Amino acid sequence: MDGVKHIVAVASGKGGVGKSTVTVNLALALSAQGYRVGVLDADIYGPSQAQMLGVKEGVRPESTGDNKFLPLTAHGLQAMSMAFLANTREAMVWRGPMVVGAFQQMLTQTQWDNLDFLLIDMPPGTGDIQLTLAQKVPVSGAVIVTTPQDIALLDARKGIEMFRKVNVPVLGVVENMSLYHCENCGHEAAIFGTGGGDSIAEEYQTTVLGRLPLTLSIRELADSGSPSVVSEPDSSVSQTFAEIARQVAQSVSASESGGPTISFSE
């Protein structure tokens, strides 16, 4: 793609595991490490990146003379979302071809400006958007977000299997909500179980990029439009995202240079 060096899909097999929160904080962590980063919100039915990036409702991207959109800028990131193009208070009652068409338009008609990484916040599941992405542009890798519970892992496996079928390397797994941390008393509890990320990483010969706690501040900061990495850069959560970002960048670089790559062969 013009203006983009590497595309990384952030995906999950099911909704509600914190994929969008991971996407925006991972993008900000990469940006903090000196990379030029963009975020494409591919969830047409339920875009959330606009709110997480603090973009006010009703703000629209400018168009260029060659029928392209200029991405909006927030917290140093270039961003494009269906929330910038339509009224998000109205339901998108669209069939599959319309959704795919909207995604392709955002993907190919956004004039990205010299990005090192374009992170794509994928909708949950393994459907049209995922297949269209794999067929239309070269994807450097995918990050799978899951929670430790067995039900979430069932769907995470489907996500990994889908990327295997379209020859997109899985860079690793992010285990979200791995441990509940009470910010008042400090008590910790593994509400969703333990070991889920390790088991799926071992099963598919990949790695656990990081484990994120279930804390109130992560949710509050994302909802307010100032995610953890920019609001609390020295916190343990932000440091975890920084380490995830380093591993993602290293994996993509190693793959490009012909170094060790993740292989999924029968």
Residues belonging to the binding site for ATP are 13-20
Q: Helix (H, G, I), strand (E, B), or coil: what is residue 68?
A: coil
- Residue 37, C-beta contacts closer than 8 angstroms, at least 6 positions apart: 27, 28, 30, 31, 76, 77, 78, 115, 116, 117, 118, 119
Q: How far is the C-alpha of 36 from the C-alpha of 33, rounded, in Å?
A: 9
Kindly give the pairing relationship between strand 4-11 and strand 208-211: unpaired
DSSP structural state of residue 82: G
Please report, in range form, the residues annotated as the binding site: 13-20
DSSP state of 83: G
- How far apart are alpha carbons 9 and 24 in whole angstroms? 12
Q: What is the C-alpha separation between 171 and 141, in angstroms, rounded?
A: 6
